[in-house]
Structure 1
């Protein structure tokens, strides 16, 4: 079978879906990450207004991250400064809670944030692959994506602490 671009626009889910470039894969992935943030918002436990407000601020920034490779850069130093401040806020509130490697567990809202965390790591990897392939973009993008992964992790720690959910240590047999 020959895989061809359909003539009917209703049969095309994304304008760039038939590109062979990694740019399309990056855009589809960051679209998924944006959906995962929406899932995290939908499953966030009650009583976490600070987290909800931050996720609502962050949510559109994921689509800005999405479009910043093919289009104009829409992630700026100010976005990094904001995310650093929010990371520091939750990290300080949960200081001392984690001092080892833990298994990704918890209530549904926490697990949605773990999916966001791993999705952010995939974003970093795709940005690295794009860079290797010669695609140019601003250095704020991988910095933001890396920080995003760490931010989502610290949110899981904070929420589990507030819900009194125990962290389960993971001891590797490999390292």
Structure 2
């Protein structure tokens, strides 16, 4: 069994050797915060509105990170603010008829699609933590789900501004056969 050997130069994170999923969630949300920071840096001037949202969002992701082990820093107000951004981004785009797309794009959009995927993984990590018997504040998976939708809308908006179409994906697995 791995354990800390006392050499702090060989320790990347205090909880790295624990056996629960808490550390996995913390590492995953650290990655989400990093990818969000990359997206902030990749925004072009014409996407200053998205850049401002991402810059405000980034510290909230570290709040999400610490909320599983420490005091919960995500609240209903955090979720409402995130939803307000989501609704604003939706208003800034033409009406959509396509609901499921193949994720494509350039520059910042790549980071936004990656962050969208990581947000889903964070939600699933919270499900595992709950299954392990650790109490998970209800606002955490709610926030992760809103984040997923927010990153998607940011990617859609920037692709729209650049004239990049994301092809619709029609599943061969569900509904009528193609």
Q: TM exceeds 0.5?
A: yes
* C-alpha distance in 1 between matches for 2:41 and 2:48: 13
The residue number in structure 2 matching 1:71 is 70
Deviation at 1:98, TM superposition (A): 4.8
- The C-alpha deviation readout for 1:89-131, integer Å capped at 9, x for no partner, is 0011114135232110000210100000000000000011111
* C-alpha distance in 2 between matches for 1:65 and 1:4: 26
* C-alpha distance in 2 between matches for 1:22 and 1:167: 35
Task: Give 5+ residue unaligned stretches, structure 2.
Answer: none
* C-alpha distance in 2 between matches for 1:70 and 1:157: 34
* Maintained 8 Å contact 1:98/1:157: no
Deviation at 1:42, TM superposition (A): 1.6
- The C-alpha deviation readout for 1:57-116, integer Å capped at 9, x for no partner, is 000000000000100000011111100100000011114135232110000210100000
1:141 aligns with 2:140: yes
* C-alpha distance in 2 between matches for 1:152 and 1:113: 5
Please give the residue correspondences for 1:8-157 in structure 2 after superposition, counting only pairs within 5 Å.
8-157=7-156
Deviation at 1:7, TM superposition (A): 1.7
* C-alpha distance in 2 between matches for 1:64 and 1:144: 11
- The C-alpha deviation readout for 1:21-62, integer Å capped at 9, x for no partner, is 110111111111110101111212331111111100000000
* Maintained 8 Å contact 1:97/1:157: no
Deviation at 1:5, TM superposition (A): 2.0
Deviation at 1:4, TM superposition (A): 3.7
Of residues 61-70 and 96-105 in structure 1, the stretch that sits farther from structure 2 once superposed is: 96-105
The residue number in structure 1 matching 2:165 is 166
Task: Give 5+ residue unaligned stretches, structure 1.
Answer: none
* C-alpha distance in 1 between matches for 2:80 and 2:70: 22
* C-alpha distance in 1 between matches for 2:34 and 2:25: 14
Compute the TM-score of the two structures, normalised by the length of structure 2.
Answer: 0.93
CA RMSD of aligned residues (A): 1.2
Of residues 131-140 and 57-66 in structure 1, the stretch that sits farther from structure 2 once superposed is: 131-140
* Maintained 8 Å contact 1:118/1:149: yes
* C-alpha distance in 1 between matches for 2:173 and 2:149: 23
